[in-house]
A = this chain, B = another copy of it.
Amino acid sequence: MKRRSLIAAAIAAPAALAAPRVARAQAQHNWKLVTSVPRGLPGPGVSALRWAERITQMSGGEIRVQVFGAGELVAPFGTQEAVESGTAEAYHGSGSWFSGRDIAHSFFTAAPFGLTFDEMHAWMYYGGGQELLNEFTNDRNLQIFIGGGSGVQTAGWFKNEVKSLDDLKGVNFRAAGLYGEVLRKVGVNPVSIPPGEIFAALQSGTLDGAEWVGPANDLAFGFENVAGYMYAPSPVEIYGGIEFGINLDAWQALTDAQRTMVEAVSEAEANRSSADTFHANLQAYEKLNAAPDLVIDTFPDDVWQALKDASREVIDEVKDTSDFHRRFVEAYYAYARKSTEYKRYYDTPFLVERESFFS
């Protein structure tokens, strides 16, 4: 509890001017940042490197951040535990990968009919999201900052056309986390399989379909060569967020000026990496759109209706996990509902009208 209130004070207090240079120069921080992807992988790998380089450079080396790719220091999905224990000072990864440790982690990546990119940032910085994140992670010696999102993801790739809900019954479909839970309730058989094996499983027929991320990441796997139908948008993977988790002791050992660097670079990265992914998706989508034998569509109405019903059930189940989870999920969806009301007369009709402007 003491730890938590210290952090809250550090975040909430207006930034004081830096201590004199002499004082600043006293401490040297050597940070290890662990990621779950290969070092420098386009998208998340580049984002982790840029975060590390910017902090190292602007601190004049007072905080020197060294990046370790998947498996170089710890197991790919052992990064969060490594930061809690102090094996590493920071990790960069998707919240949903840690949802087995606490289901609330998933909501910063994938939540049924959840927050979009702009909504997530507003909720985190101004709507109480950061405080809720602190509440279930500070006690585990973690300080997490959001680091950007993929935007609304693809619902999935299918070998056969989805003409109605019946076509989803019993299909073997690669899906992770809460999306898998929602799909199970509408009759899909969700399969857990490592990313590197999805293509071969689709090709051999072991899988009838699969979801991964969005155009840029999916194109890299070449799914359009083994599945003729691409459906978007996903009903669950909306923000698609990646985060920076920092060891709380390492965070508290920083000066105010150094904390401002880490916070500002994280906020810049949430902006930059989202823009990077968005741009990459535009280029990839153009290629997919030009693929002669690929059908791009949205799910039919009865599938959407079933997905909505199933999503409500899944959300209720998460709420029932604990008092904290009820409070967390209710706060999250109250924000989503409020923004949905707002966008009803702003973003949504604008996008619809612009479509006809360009067609």
Identify the A interface with B (CB < 8 A).
Answer: 15-18, 20-21, 24-25, 53-54, 56-58, 60-61, 113, 116-119, 121-127, 151-152, 214-215, 232-235, 238, 256-258, 260-261, 263-268, 270-272, 274-276, 278-282, 285-286, 289, 296-298, 304, 308, 311, 335-358
Contacts and interface: CB of A to CB of B under 8 A. Distances in A.
A348 B355 contact: yes
A117 B235 CA distance: 22
A113 B354 CA distance: 6
A109 to B, nearest CB: 15
B271 A267 contact: yes
A339 B308 contact: no
B267 A338 contact: no
A179 to B, nearest CB: 14
A124 B271 CA distance: 12
Helix, strand, loop or mixed for chain A's interface?
Answer: helix
Most chain-B Cβ atoms within 10 A of its Cβ — which of A56, A260, A280?
A260
Contacts of A340: 351, 354-355, 358
What's the number of copies of this chain in the assembled complex? 2
Given A125-B275, A126-B275, A268-B265, A341 B60 contact: no
A257 B339 contact: no
Contacts of A352: 348
A357 B53 contact: no
A296 to B, nearest CB: 6
A56 B278 contact: no
Nearest to A311: B357
Contact of A54 (B214, B260, B341): B260
A348 B348 contact: yes
Given A125-B275, A274-B121, A349 B233 contact: yes
A118 B347 CA distance: 12
A118 B122 CA distance: 14
A190 to B, nearest CB: 21
Given A116-B347, A346-B152, A348-B351, A126 B279 contact: yes
Contacts of A338: 282, 286
B60 A58 contact: no
Contact of A60 (B257, B296, B348): B257
A340 B359 CA distance: 10
B264 A18 contact: no
Shortest 4 CB-CB contacts between residues of A and residues of B: A267-B268, A271-B271, A126-B279, A233-B350
B152 A347 contact: yes
